[in-house]
Copies of this chain bind each other. A is one copy, B any other.
């Protein structure tokens, strides 16, 4: 089923979304802020990725969509470890304007709601490159904890950067929504 936040809907990736995903990957400003990495990506390569993801029970890739603006970003819940009940989560918003409007928060909240309340996970993992202040704020606001620092784990812009290990437990998510009443606003 689709995943509903207060503002966004998270839905499966369609072929029509590939260009948006490709633009985000090929945009140096966006790639600077995330841990991942790729060579410049062609349409053919992006389509190949799309075909490779369709039959997978341990990785969910999602388009972030709003009513007004349609597809504006990407979120995932991957490497689901069903026995330990954990998974890795990441997010990317295509356009700077959207990044400041609570869209990111709503997407992360929706991911957590789905991961903890439907997938029945106990823990979500993520990682943040040390100079990405907006992401630190976003995840902090959403109740995540910094659990460690993998020193010099990422090489970007001609130097090594530390990578923050961040995580949240189901009980912390539940405490958060009890306090901020997020789903009852």
A interface residues, Cβ below 8 angstroms from B:
1-4, 10-15, 25-28, 30-31, 37-45, 48, 50-51, 54-55, 57, 60, 62, 82-86, 116-120, 122-123, 125, 145, 147-158, 160, 165, 167, 169
Instruction: Count identical subunits in the complex.
Output: 6
Q: Is the CB of B1 within 8 A of A40?
A: yes
Contact of A39 among B44, B60, B117, B145 (CB under 8 A): B60
Q: Is the CB of B48 within 8 A of A44?
A: no
Contact of A44 among B14, B86, B156, B165 (CB under 8 A): B14
Residues on B with beta carbons closer than 8 Å to the beta carbon of A153: 84, 86, 123, 125, 167
Q: Is the CB of B2 within 8 A of A14?
A: no
Whether A169 contacts B152 in the complex (CB less than 8 A), given A37-B83, A43-B15, A45-B12, comes out as yes
Give the distance to chain B from A54, nearest Cβ to Cβ, in Å. 5
Q: How many Å lie between the Cα of A123 and that of B149 in the bound state?
A: 13
Q: How many Å lie between the Cα of A124 and that of B35 in the bound state?
A: 17
Q: Is the CB of A157 within 8 A of B118?
A: yes
Whether A40 contacts B152 in the complex (CB less than 8 A), given A27-B2, A157-B117, comes out as no
